[in-house]
Amino acid sequence: MTRLLKTCFACGLATIVIAVVLPLATPAYAAKRVALVIGNNDYKSVPKLQKAVNDARAMGDALKQLGFNVMVAENLNRQQFSEALLTFDNTVEPGDTAFFFYAGHGFEIAGQNFLLPTDVPAATEGQEELVRDASVLADRIIERLQNKKARTSILVFDACRNNPFERPGTRAVAGGGGLAPMTQLPEGVFSVFSAGPRQTALDRLSNEDANPNSVFTRTFAKELVQPGLNMVQIAQRTRRLVSELAESVHHKQIPVYFDQMVDDVFLNGLAKGAPENAAPAAAQPKLAALPPVSVPRVPPANESLNAPIAMFSRNNGGWSITFSIVDPALGISWRLGDSGDFRETGFMDILDPRTRKRMPNFSIQLPADTPGGTLQVRYIDANGEMQGPFPIKFDPEAALIHDQRKILDMTSTSWLSFREFNGLLVYYTHLMSYRCAIRQVKIGIDTSMPDKLLTMPACNMKDPISIPSDASPYLKLPPSTKFVSVELTYRDGSVSEIKSFRR
């Protein structure tokens, strides 16, 4: 069976269209929703693609259903790419949800990801700077959205992992053969990749597969519009379905995502009080150019832009949950589930300068065995009026994985430690303590490519940080060992940067 592999990331501008729709699904926290969707097929000097433009159009349609103001751009050269990003910048305001989708060629150089416009020149060994100068740095897009103070930034890259500059009989530009993991994201950013490290993304499953979209985009676009799913659930479902489809043709493709969102972001949710059978907004005329977009947004009735969010942390005593509320609050109360009495959180011995009253306690504690459910949170605002209740989903397993993943990212210098005791030992106690967020640990002894699996005990949800008495948290190393490298595969399928630890 012949498989056609997608030759990487995508973008270009033979056509740029903008479709503006009024929000159908109310943003949970953002002022408005804006999206830039780019698909590049028609490359001049590197291999052309077949489905990137179709993928961009499919994603644009899905995002319109979710109430985004969408700009769809196709076959962009370097200048047009810059103009599209500038227009996107001008639409993003503080508090917005910003969505960026890119399908086409991408390339990694020295750990940085570059998106390739259609006029990127052919390059050979030693011409990495040529590629850098002619391309768009993916990290720069994140930085621009951070500068615009977007509350949530979602970036989706439908790309493969092979080198678009490879030519028979020549030495290619030195790069990672794909895109580097985005593990060090700023707060509020969520990124999704169509394939994992060193994997290729399938355009189609066989020659008989007539679907106009790539295997990843056809799946992701469908999951994106499913009601009641947050972004983590969408990414996890997409990963499972794409992996199963690829496995059906004996190919390995496991999408990965990197999550630094502070909110539990649900894109397909209706505003409080909005009718569930609301009719879709009429499609607006498509424009043939890309002028600055300035569309006044009329907030739906009963919309709250100040709904609380929650941060979950697991400790030996149970769950610590901290609420974040934009408004000054005179009191906070909560309950687990849709019935029963609300409990007051109490007060701290601190005066809130905004209200000149004691500041309410923003944290609550739950027992370790608390089942999943929905927290209902309400608060009294500075005018003495009750706001809420607001629903916050509590999924203990997902919250534990999310919390431990953040701890591992922040404490990467502690993953391994050396000790000399009857020989040379390397301890990985820290990794064992936060193993519930880890699927696999690989280390390399005096090599920068980890190739040895470490045995980890199973996650114990009842006591996740403790290390079983029969588990050995160290390895004995040859006395001549100079350094050990380590790579983590997280439970969500994403892969960490390779870290090196020297004696």
pLDDT the model gives residue 375: 93
Whole-number percent of the chain with pLDDT over 70: 80
pLDDT the model gives residue 1: 42
d(C-alpha 61, C-alpha 74), whole Å: 14
Per residue in 186-212, pLDDT (tens digit) is: 888 999 999 887 678 888 898 888 899
Q: Which of 31, 138, 134, 150 is nearest to 89 (CA)?
A: 150
What band does 18 get if pLDDT is binned at 50, 70 and 90? very low
**Which three-class secondary structure string do you get for 53-66?**
HHHHHHHHHHHHHC
Q: Which of 431, 429, 419 is nearest to 481 (CA)?
A: 419
d(C-alpha 469, C-alpha 432), whole Å: 12
Per residue in 410-432, pLDDT (tens digit) is: 888 889 999 988 889 999 999 99
Count of residues making up the chain? 503
**Which three-class secondary structure string do you get for 27-80?**
CCCCCCEEEEEEECCCCCCCCCCCCHHHHHHHHHHHHHHCCCEEEEEEECCHHH
**Report field, pTM of the whole predicted structure over 0.85:** no
How confident is the prediction for the chain on average, in pLDDT? 80
User: Does 162 score more than 70 pLDDT?
Assistant: no
Per residue in 110-137, pLDDT (tens digit) is: 777 889 999 888 866 656 777 788 889 8
